[in-house]
Amino acid sequence: MMRTGGLITCILFFFLYLSGASAMRPVMKKRREPCKRLELFFHDIVYNGKNAENATSTIVAAPEGANRTILAGQNHFGNVVVFDDPITLDNNLHSTPVGRAQGMYIYDRKDTFCSWLGFTFALNSTEHQGTLSFIGADPLLNKTRDISVVGGTGDFSLAKGIATIMTDAYEGEVYFRLHVDIKLYECW
Positions in 139-168 near its own copies (CB under 8 A): 139, 146-154, 157-158, 160-162
Whichever of 29 and 94 has its CB closer to its own copies, that residue is 29
Does 185 bind its own copies (CB under 8 A)? Our answer is yes
For residues 77-96, which are near its own copies according to CB under 8 A? 77-80, 82-84
Whichever of 78 and 128 has its CB closer to its own copies, that residue is 78
For residues 39-68, which are near its own copies according to CB under 8 A? 47, 49, 58-64, 67-68
Does 137 bind its own copies (CB under 8 A)? Our answer is yes
Report which of 140, 178, 164 is spatially closest to residue 56, judged by C-alpha positions: 178
For its own copies, the binding residue among 42, 98, 109, 128 (CB under 8 A) is 109
The least CB distance from residue 172 to its own copies, in Å, is 18
3-class SS letters over the chain = CHHHHHHHHHHHHHHHHHHHHHHCCCCCCCCCCCCEEEEEEEEEEECCCCCCCCCCEEEEECCCCCCCCCCCCCCCCCCEEEEEEEEECCCCCCCCCCEEEEEEEEECCCCCCCEEEEEEEEEECCCCEEEEEEEEEECCCCCCEEEEEEEEEECCCCCEEEEEEEEEEEECCCEEEEEEEEEEEECC
Residue 37 is which amino acid? R
Does 103 bind its own copies (CB under 8 A)? Our answer is yes
Report which of 172, 176, 177, 178 is spatially closest to residue 70, judged by C-alpha positions: 172
The least CB distance from residue 155 to its own copies, in Å, is 11
For its own copies, the binding residue among 36, 89, 95, 104 (CB under 8 A) is 104
Total of residues contacting its own copies (CB under 8 A): 78
For residues 12-41, which are near its own copies according to CB under 8 A? 13-14, 16-17, 20-21, 24-31
The least CB distance from residue 67 to its own copies, in Å, is 6
